[in-house]
């Protein structure tokens, strides 16, 4: 339904930093889950957080693990990592890494079969039920006491599953440089699960482990999934007995090898250097997934990302402008120290739309600058500020609260005998100012095309540096 109603924009609430953290946390969580097969642990926790997993591992290690299982897992994991390193160093040898998992399964299965290591405690796949699932549409219940509860759980599960799938898809799309259409993803996932429910399938989302295996194998298009489905179907129908002696340790090694590359520490370090708030979202997603669950990790990441947006909306950037010598350009005095302020004129730029969420902040910020400027003028015995020019070119829109804030600013300036001047308002802004009759209040002669025009009109001739 989300895809049908074109609500794919929901996925944009997952920032790049949040996805990097989520992927790293999910990779570690999946890797930890494979310790059951890698170490040959019979009783393993069903929880996914790192504390529960490590307690389970420590409790089983204390009672002893199966050394043959550990030997098989460690040996083939070293083999898989070596082939990955070879493929990374020499792109022409990509096939070495791609075929390594299949070789590992065949060799390990053969070795366990001829040595009968399963009798020594090595956990194996054992019997797999042959055939594919029969139709089960007639088993779906459309009424009963659990219908409403199932619907509520289904909504939550669907949202979490969708978020996971999109997060995984966006990660691999960034690696392979292709685009993700959120609406198509929603339609595909929904249709897949509806059809799958008619044959008693598990709820399916974007699989982290199999996507990673596909990626490492060099798959490039969705046809790989068709081939995989056909192979799985033929396997279930014909050759399931051959996998009886496949050790669980080798399957764990393949998945661990696949998810290792999803921990992108280089990108995490870059995010730390560029934007500390983004890095907080990354850490929130990472620690949420590792110490709690995927759901909490995603919730924390989205919450931090939304908090960042709200902070930027309520606290927009503003700047004091000065004139670059021998030019008509007025720019941020903090960014360009050589830019000089015009005596008797304060020039302020608002770098955001002015809405009810930030209008009072913008007004208070401008008045605070005026007070600071007056204090400096008194200390240094400089000429008093007579004009305030507000550069509005970055302001894409304004609402009634924003206009009301400008009216209050105008009244406050009149008390200090300072004239308010607007420079370069956009079409949406000037239209709303005109509709609210603010242009009549301030005067048409106080609205200019550029800051330079306003300065030439009102600044003392001796102050002009053009």
Q: Left (φ > 0), alpha (ψ -120 to 50) or beta: where does 43 sit?
A: beta
User: Tokens in use for 186?
Assistant: 């929603």
Domains in the chain: boundaries: 8-311, 318-463
Note whether 336 and 344 are within 8 A (CB): no
Minimal CA–CA distance to 160: which of 282, 16, 281, 294? 294
Architecture of domain 318-463: 2-Layer Sandwich (3.30)
For 9-21, the pLDDT digits (tens) are: 766 677 778 878 8
From first to last of its 466 residues, what are the pLDDT tens digits of the chain?
Answer: 878 888 767 666 777 788 788 889 988 998 999 999 998 888 888 888 889 888 888 887 766 678 899 999 999 999 999 998 998 888 778 788 888 998 999 999 999 999 999 888 899 988 777 888 888 888 887 888 888 888 877 776 776 677 677 777 777 777 777 787 878 888 888 898 888 888 888 777 777 667 777 777 778 788 888 998 898 888 888 888 888 899 999 999 999 998 888 888 899 999 999 998 889 989 998 999 899 887 788 788 888 888 888 888 888 999 999 999 889 999 999 999 999 888 889 999 999 999 999 999 999 999 999 999 888 888 887 788 899 999 999 999 999 999 999 999 999 999 989 999 999 999 999 999 999 999 999 988 899 999 999 998 887 654 554 4
Say how far apart CA 41 and CA 70 lie, in whole Å: 10
Residues 6+ apart with CB under 8 A from 419: 386, 387, 388, 413, 446, 458
- Which phi and psi (to 5°) does residue 131 adopt? 90, 170
Minimal CA–CA distance to 110: which of 238, 244, 240? 244
Q: State the CB neighbour count (10 A cutoff) for residue 107.
A: 14
For 235-292, the pLDDT digits (tens) are: 888 888 888 899 999 999 999 998 888 888 899 999 999 998 889 989 998 999 899 8
């Amino acid at each position: 339904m989300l895809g049908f109603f074109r609500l794919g924009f929901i996925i944009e609430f997952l920032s790049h930093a949040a996805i990097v953290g989520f992927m790293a946390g999910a990779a570690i969580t999946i890797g930890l889950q494979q310790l059951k097969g890698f170490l040959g642990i019979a009783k393993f926790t069903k929880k996914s957080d790192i504390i529960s997993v490590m307690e389970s591992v420590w409790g089983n290690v204390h009672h002893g693990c199966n050394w043959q299982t550990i030997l098989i897992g460690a040996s083939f994991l070293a083999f898989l990592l070596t082939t990955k390193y070879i493929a990374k160093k020499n792109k022409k040898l990509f096939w070495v890494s791609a075929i390594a998992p299949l070789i590992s399964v065949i060799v390990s299965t053969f070795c366990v079969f001829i040595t009968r290591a399963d009798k020594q405690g090595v956990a194996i796949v054992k019997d797999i039920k042959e055939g594919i699932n029969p139709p089960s549409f007639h088993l779906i219940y459309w009424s009963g006491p659990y219908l409403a509860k199932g619907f509520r759980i289904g909504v939550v599960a669907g949202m979490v599953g969708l978020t996971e799938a999109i997060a995984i898809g966006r990660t691999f799309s960034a690696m392979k440089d292709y685009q993700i259409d959120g609406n198509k993803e929603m339609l595909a996932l929904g249709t897949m699960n509806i059809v799958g429910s008619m044959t008693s399938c598990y709820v399916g989302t974007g699989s982290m482990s199999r996507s990673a295996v596909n990626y490492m194998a060099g798959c490039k298009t969705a046809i790989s999934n068709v081939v995989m489905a056909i192979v799985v179907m033929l396997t279930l129908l014909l050759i399931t007995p051959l996998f009886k002696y496949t050790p669980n340790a080798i399957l764990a090694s393949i998945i661990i090898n696949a998810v290792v590359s999803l921990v992108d520490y280089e990108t995490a370090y870059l995010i730390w250097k560029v934007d500390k708030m983004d890095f907080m979202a990354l850490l929130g997603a990472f620690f949420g997934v590792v110490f709690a669950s995927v759901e909490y990790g995603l919730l924390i990441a989205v919450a931090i990302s939304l908090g960042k947006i709200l902070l930027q909306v309520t606290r927009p950037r503003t700047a004091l402008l000065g004139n670059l010598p021998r030019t008509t350009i007025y720019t941020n005095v903090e960014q360009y120290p050589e830019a000089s302020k015009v005596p008797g004129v304060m020039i302020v730029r608002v770098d955001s739309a002015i809405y009810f969420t930030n209008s009072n902040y913008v007004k208070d910020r401008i008045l605070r600058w005026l007070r600071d400027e007056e204090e400096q003028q008194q200390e240094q015995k400089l000429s008093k500020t007579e004009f305030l020019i507000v550069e509005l070119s970055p302001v894409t829109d304004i609402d009634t609260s924003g206009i009301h804030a400008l009216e209050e600013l105008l009244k406050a300036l009149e008390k200090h005998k300072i004239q308010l001047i607007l420079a370069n308002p956009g079409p949406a802004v000037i239209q709303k100012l005109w509709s609210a009759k603010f242009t009549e209040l301030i005067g048409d002669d106080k609205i200019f095309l550029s800051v330079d025009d306003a300065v030439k009109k009102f600044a003392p001739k001796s102050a002009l540096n053009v």
